[in-house]
Amino acid sequence: MAFVELAGIQKQFGDVAAVDDFNLQVERGEFVSFLGPSGCGKTTTLRMIAGFEQPTAGTIVVDGVDITHRPPNQRNVGMVFQSYALFPNMNVADNIGFGLKVHKKPKEAIDRRVEELLTLIHLKGRGARFPYQLSGGQQQRVALARALAIEPQVLLLDEPLSALDAKIRVALRTEIRAIQRQLGITTVYVTHDQEEALSLSDRVVVMNDGRIEQIGSPSEIYNFPATSFVASFVGTLNMLAARVVDPSAGRLSVEGQEIRAAKPIADARAGEIVSVALRPESISLEEGPEGANRLRGPVVDVSFLGSIVRLRIRLGDGPTVSLDTFNDPNLTLPPIGEAVTVSFPPEASLVLDQPAAAPGADPAAEA
Amino acid sequence: MRGRGSLWAWMIFGLGAAYFIVPLIATFEFSIRTKPDMFLAYRQVLADPKFGDGLWYSFIVGVLTIVVSLLIIVPTAYWVRLKVPRLRPIVEFVTLMPFVIPPIILVFGLIRIYSRQPLVLTATDIGSNVLLVAAYVVLSFPYMYRAVDTGLAAIDVRTLTEAAQSLGAGWARIILRLIFPNLRTALISGAFLTLAIVVGEYTIANFLARPAFGPYLSLLGQNQPFQPAAVSLISFGLTWLAMGMITFLGRGARTRVQVAGAR
């Protein structure tokens, strides 16, 4: 049996279903992220695990115990908030030791644990400081230590890095993952930042409109998106509307140029419009080997993005396709307006569940 | 430009300061017109035992009013902000009622209700004192609620509460260990206003026949020309002293609210 189990969770706010038919099993020590846009229900689900919201239906079980109707202060679940939520009237040591005092631990045990955690979060010797005397990153590390102090069964993090600047965010997320691995604590992390979710998690739950779109490892989510929403939300993506030519052979037509999928196109008939998802990094600025898919069109844009260069090629009258190539100083880039041929393997073209747009529209989607 | 702006600022400040200081100076000037001993009024006031008794009585009633008012207002304002924010305008309206209902109505209402069965309070000193404190608590609502509500707005009440709950804390601990300490500055300002009102209040104390400072001051004004001015200044100084003590006792408000990521 899973360590944390959410079964048939539903949450209604009036007529709005914030979370619907949510089922998830989290193993002991696993790091699971809820990823999705604002309003998709990820924070509501996390708050239901914490006990701050009551599910309209469904059960929440932790380590075999049904905690669905337990008040939040009786759940033994640690929570880290986006706004840190450190107690302003207490210093760092008192903040970290607050939960232990609530649990009536002896003073020596509290002091020892506080020191241990201060060392763990690299703030040794700063126990006497007040929250306002710390930087944002330091405050969030204290909030993490405070949540860990009570040795919770589950650690919940609600967009803990959103309020920090980019550099600290990257450093702190590495730190969070290292601490989580070191302590082996079961963790549920909420974020709308795909990079965060993919780099931190053992598994990612992609949510949209209160429902789970896909659950999988970061690699599965990125490389094999189950729905067009996942494909468009995670990573940068070209979404091309294609006409099915021969479903059994996986043959498709994009703006009159024929390409091939790796597998037969299930449940599709010839002439039907489907969506083809293509990652920019899977497309090469060359003819490619025998059997590769090829598309031809003029270059309409070249953007330098640091380590990579992104080119946009127009296909036919409307849609464009983006491709990424490493920023090699020896690379000769085609001038804007020059017609080029780009290629990609059939395995790179993912035929998704529903059409992205009618042919002729600009379906190049960047998420 | 900067110099001219600064001059205007100082002039406005000077006008504001004069608005408060000139009446005090005028009162003082009037209080020392006794001849040949210019401080006679002060000497007489300080020698009168009723002065000290009245002021002490009002101070104690003021402190009790502050304590009861805090015990009612803080949990109410906290709960409304946390659980039923849509009721905030209604609670705010209710707390403003003392501005609409004059103290004379309030005190007559209290006397009518509590001078008959089942609960006769006006018959005893203790009962009348309880009524006086209760009436003053009502009078303090607009000031106390506003101060507390402003203080609560400055802290993220919901998240702090949830953080404490996730660490195992119950409601009593959250209110006593988190909410009260983080409202210290707001509570001091609410207490300041309440004490200032209670010490000078006349109507309710007079009709409940309490030996408070307000009725003493009024009585003095009917018989003596200079003493009321001296009493006003002394009581003014003592009220400020009392407030200084409250601020001193409540010092150490090292809390500073910081918006996430602002640093």
Give me the residues of chain B with pLDDT under 70, please: 1-3, 246, 249-263
> Is a pLDDT exceeding 70 seen at residue A364?
no
H-type alpha helices, chain A: 42-50, 92-102, 107-120, 136-149, 166-183, 194-200, 218-223, 228-233
Domain boundaries, chain B: 56-211
CB contact under 8 A, B162 and A71: no
DSSP-based helix, strand, coil % in chain A, nearest 5: 25, 35, 40
> Is a pLDDT exceeding 70 seen at residue A210?
yes
> Is a pLDDT exceeding 60 seen at residue A59?
yes
CB contact under 8 A, B257 and A88: yes
- CA-to-CA distance for B45 and B34, rounded, in angstroms? 13
Q: What is the pLDDT of residue A144?
A: 93
Residue B118: asked if its preceding bond is cis (omega within 30°), the reply is yes
Evaluated on CA atoms B126, B127, B129, B134, the torsion sign reads: positive
ipTM value > 0.85: no
> Is a pLDDT exceeding 90 seen at residue A60?
yes
> Is a pLDDT exceeding 90 seen at residue A114?
yes
Q: What is the pLDDT of residue A321?
A: 92
Burial B67-81 (b: 16+ CB within 10 A, else e): eebbebbbbbbbebb
> Is a pLDDT exceeding 70 seen at residue A363?
no
Amino acid making up residue B142: P
For A83-94, the pLDDT digits (tens) are 999 999 999 999
The strands making up A211-216's β-sheet, listed across from edge to edge, are A77-80, A154-158, A186-191, A31-35, A203-208, A211-216
* B-chain residues near A87 (CB < 8 A): 160, 163-164, 178, 182
CA distance to partner chain B, nearest, from residue A213 (Å) = 29
**What are the Cα distances from residue A99, in Å, to A47, A69, A140, A364?**
19, 21, 16, 51
Tell me the residue ranges of DSSP E strands in A192-261: 203-208, 211-216, 238-246, 251-254, 257-260
Q: What is the pLDDT of residue B2?
A: 59
A24 φ, ψ (degrees, to nearest 5)? -155, 140
- Give the mean pLDDT of A150-175: 90
- Residues of A with a Cβ under 8 Å from any B Cβ are 50-52, 71-79, 81-89, 98-99, 102-103, 130-132, 134-136, 139, 143, 146-147, 149-150, 156, 163-165
Contacts 24+ apart (CB under 8 A), A267-272: A268/A244, A268/A351, A269/A244, A270/A244, A270/A245, A270/A246, A271/A243, A271/A244, A272/A243, A272/A244
CB contact under 8 A, B165 and A52: yes
pTM of this structure: 0.78
Q: What is the pLDDT of residue B240?
A: 80
Q: Quick check: B241 and B190 in contact, CB under 8 A?
A: no
CB contact under 8 A, A136 and B262: yes
Q: What is the pLDDT of residue A291?
A: 87
Q: What is the pLDDT of residue A268?
A: 82
- CA-to-CA distance for B53 and B72, rounded, in angstroms? 29
**What are the Cα distances from residue B254, in Å, to A95, A129, A130, A253, B257?**
14, 11, 8, 69, 10
Question: And the tokens for A43?
Answer: 């924070």
- CA-to-CA distance for B58 and B212, rounded, in angstroms? 5
CB contact under 8 A, A52 and B168: no
Task: Identify the residue with better confidence: A163 or A51.
Answer: A51
Residue of chain B whose alpha carbon sits nearest to that of A83:
B260
Evaluated on CA atoms A97, A102, A103, A109, the torsion sign reads: positive
Q: CB-CB: which of B160, B181, B263 is closest to A85?
A: B160
Give the mean pLDDT of chain A. 89
* A-chain residues near B83 (CB < 8 A): none
Q: What is the pLDDT of residue B197?
A: 87
For A305-315, the pLDDT digits (tens) are 888 899 999 98
CB contact under 8 A, A102 and B167: yes
A261 φ, ψ (degrees, to nearest 5)? -90, 160
The CATH number given to B56-211 is: 1.10.3720.10
> Is a pLDDT exceeding 50 seen at residue A361?
no
Q: What is the pLDDT of residue B251?
A: 65
pLDDT band at residue A286 using 50, 70 and 90 as cut-offs = confident
Nearest to A178 by CA among A227, A234, A121, A135: A121
Q: Quick check: A154 and A62 in contact, CB under 8 A?
A: yes
A-B interface: how many C-beta pairs under 8 angstroms? Answer: 96
- Give the mean pLDDT of A26-31: 95
> Is a pLDDT exceeding 80 seen at residue A212?
yes
Question: And the tokens for A151?
Answer: 């040795």
Residue A202, Cβ density class (10 Å: 0-12 exposed, 13-18 middle, ≥19 buried): middle
The three-point CA angle A21-A216-A55 to 5° equals: 25
Task: Identify the residue with better confidence: A363 or A157.
Answer: A157
Task: Identify the residue with better confidence: B243 or A209.
Answer: A209
Burial B233-250 (b: 16+ CB within 10 A, else e): bbbeebbeebbeebeeee
Domain boundaries, chain A: 4-229, 236-352
Which residue is it, tokens 């002439």? Answer: A271
- Residues of B with a Cβ under 8 Å from any A Cβ are 155-156, 159-160, 162-170, 173, 178, 181-182, 184, 254-263
Q: Quick check: A212 and A40 in contact, CB under 8 A?
A: no
- CA-to-CA distance for A253 and A242, rounded, in angstroms? 5
Q: Which three-class secondary structure string do you get for A43-96?
A: HHHHHHHHCCCCCCEEEEEECCEECCCCCHHHCCEEEECCCCCCCCCCCHHHHH
Mutation target among A46, A52, A53, A73 for the B interface, most CBs of B within 10 A: A73
pLDDT band at residue A354 using 50, 70 and 90 as cut-offs = low
- CA-to-CA distance for B255 and B86, rounded, in angstroms? 28
Task: Identify the residue with better confidence: B58 or A360.
Answer: B58
Task: Indicate the fold that domain A4-229 takes in CATH.
Answer: Rossmann fold (3.40.50)
**What are the Cα distances from residue A346, in Å, to A223, A252, A282, A288, A291?**
14, 11, 10, 12, 8
Q: Which CATH architecture has domain A236-352?
A: Beta Barrel (2.40)
Please state at what angle helix B88-95 crosses helix B125-153, rounded to 10 degrees: 140
pLDDT band at residue A358 using 50, 70 and 90 as cut-offs = very low
Q: What is the pLDDT of residue A152?
A: 94
* A-chain residues near B258 (CB < 8 A): 88, 131-132, 139
